[in-house]
Amino acid sequence: MKEVTLTVKKEFVNRYKKGYPLILEEALENSKVLKDEGQLITLVDKDKTFLGKGYYGKQNKGCGWILSNSKNSNIEYKFFYDKLRNAFSKRMKLYHSKDTTAFRVFNGEGDGIGGITIDYFDEYYLITWYSKGVYVFKEHIIKAIKSLVSFDGIYEKKRFEENGMVVDEDSYLIGRKAPEPLVVKENGVNFAIYLNDGAMVGVFLDQKEVRKSIRQKYSRGKRVLNTFSYTGAFSMAAAKGGAITTSVDLASRSLEKTTENFRINGINPEEHDIVVEDIFLYFKHAKEENLKFDVVILDPPSFATSKDNRFSAAKDYKDLVKSAIAITEDEGVIVSSTNCATFNMDKFKRFIDQAFKECNKNYEILEEHNLPEDFAVTNKFPEGNYLKVVFVRVY
Ligand code: SAH
């Protein structure tokens, strides 16, 4: 494929000099010459001074990633091999852990190649490609994985659509097929994983520290409400820690998935509540019935549309916290989480602060979390650390 040299607009040059890895279309003088995704790009300033080397690949944000800031590096097999080897060896401790068998082994630009993540699920690897461009390097990536580690099988998700949706097709790639479910462990809690069942496989690995904290510090003898509960991952952590949980999710699949997760953890699902309902209706009913919880977990998607409600984290998080305050016991705890990349931790804390002010309640921040260590991030791209979680005590 033909390599192209593109000139960066004056006002963006400094940013790329400092190592900003995302190639923005608006930063380029002549982006029109970009034709084939996967083609290599050299960025220069108007005096032809080298700024970086990368590839063209369209994502919801940006049109590619810088892979190297060195003029002499060749973007070929050895380059990908070195990045993967480095990333895998950083996770050695996790590979040796007996009670954690699922974690992220490669996290995009945080490990030096934007646009690709690789997760490990007990002898299986799941590669997620975020553009047609990065998919062009597939052979190198697979070859590197094969030469670095042994495995049972590899699966892949192609999130090529610019809205980040998965192209719906078979995710199986090579090796043995994974059992369904594939049961993995995270700090001793079991999770049922389906590698070939759409975009989401059953657990979001980025919440591991939050689940650990909920289990260890906020669960013994507590009543815990888990909203937007999906497969009930937070409920498992809480139940293992000694809580009685209520899980609420709109999707009917959540009933069977959450029940399954309780079973594989040796917990009787009958002792817990699993409610299939729009959470905004649930809040309404809970308030009318004066239901209260010791711990309320809020982990909504960035956007959600249901029959009666439309939720956007950037617009509606404050109201979500207000709904939670109304059904949290005095001295109870609200765990507020968001993966919305359009606002940062400071702004997120302002939403929370406003919610408490408007409810005439006091609060104390007990804990704050971002991405865990295996979700490597680079300080050249702070927005890559999208996860924000705040534990607050309600007074
Ligand atoms: N907190 C979960 C992940 C949430 S994924 C975890 O830790 O694993 C988002 C979930 O929100 C999906 O399962 C979706 O069905 C659910 N959801 C979206 N809109 C909702 C609504 N209005 N009420 C309840 N659940 C909703």
Q: Of 365, 340, 339, 342, which Cα lies nearest the Cα of 352?
A: 365
Contact 325, 355 (CB under 8 A): yes
The mean pLDDT value of the chain amounts to 96
pLDDT at 212 over 80: yes
Q: Is the beta carbon of 191 within 6 A of some atom in ligand 1?
A: no
Q: Is the beta carbon of 291 within 6 A of some atom in ligand 1?
A: no
Q: Is the beta carbon of 228 within 6 A of some atom in ligand 1?
A: yes
Ligand 1, atom 11: closest residue by C-alpha: 228
Which of 205, 213, 230 maximizes ligand 1 atoms within 8 Å of its Cβ, making it the mutation to test the pocket? Answer: 230
Q: Is the beta carbon of 309 within 6 A of some atom in ligand 1?
A: yes
pLDDT at 161 over 80: no
pLDDT digits (tens, 9 = 90+) for 340-392: 999 999 999 999 999 999 999 999 999 999 999 999 999 999 999 999 999 99
Ligand 1, atom 16: closest residue by C-alpha: 228
Residue 24 domain boundaries: 4-68
**CA 300 to ligand 1 center in whole angstroms:** 6
Residue 190 lies in a domain: no
Number of compact structural domains in the chain: 3
Instruction: For residue 5, report the phi and psi dihedrals to the nearest 5 degrees.
Output: -110, 130
Cross-strand bridge partners of residue 365: 392
Task: Please report the atom of ligand 1 found closest to the CA of residue 204.
Answer: 8
Same domain, 47 and 129: no
Task: Please report the atom of ligand 1 found closest to the CA of residue 203.
Answer: 8
Which residues are CB-contacts of 96 (< 8 A; sequence separation ≥ 6)? none
**CA 252 to ligand 1 center in whole angstroms:** 11
3-state secondary structure of 119: strand
Ligand 1, atom 12: closest residue by C-alpha: 230
pLDDT digits (tens, 9 = 90+) for 260-285: 999 999 999 999 999 999 999 999 99
pLDDT digits (tens, 9 = 90+) for 299-331: 999 998 888 889 999 999 999 999 999 999 999
Same domain, 160 and 118: yes
Cα 147 from Cα 30, distance rounded (Å): 39
Contact 141, 80 (CB under 8 A): yes
Instruction: For residue 206, report the phi and psi dihedrals to the nearest 5 degrees.
Output: -75, -10
pLDDT at 163 over 80: no
User: What percentage of the chain's residues is helix, strand, coil (to nearest 5)?
Assistant: 30, 30, 40
Instruction: For residue 271, report the phi and psi dihedrals to the nearest 5 degrees.
Output: -85, 0
Q: Is the beta carbon of 204 within 6 A of some atom in ligand 1?
A: yes
Same domain, 225 and 307: yes
Contact 103, 64 (CB under 8 A): no
Radius of gyration, alpha carbons of the chain: 22
Res 307: pLDDT: 82
**Confidence class for position 198, pLDDT limits 50, 70, 90:** confident
Of 118, 153, 185, the position where a domain reaches its end is: 185
Pairing of β 293-298 and β 328-338: parallel
**Confidence class for position 165, pLDDT limits 50, 70, 90:** low
Residue 373 lies in a domain: yes
pLDDT digits (tens, 9 = 90+) for 5-49: 999 999 999 999 999 999 999 999 989 999 999 999 999 999 999
Residue 211 lies in a domain: yes
Same domain, 243 and 100: no
**CA 207 to ligand 1 center in whole angstroms:** 14
- What is the reported pTM? 0.96
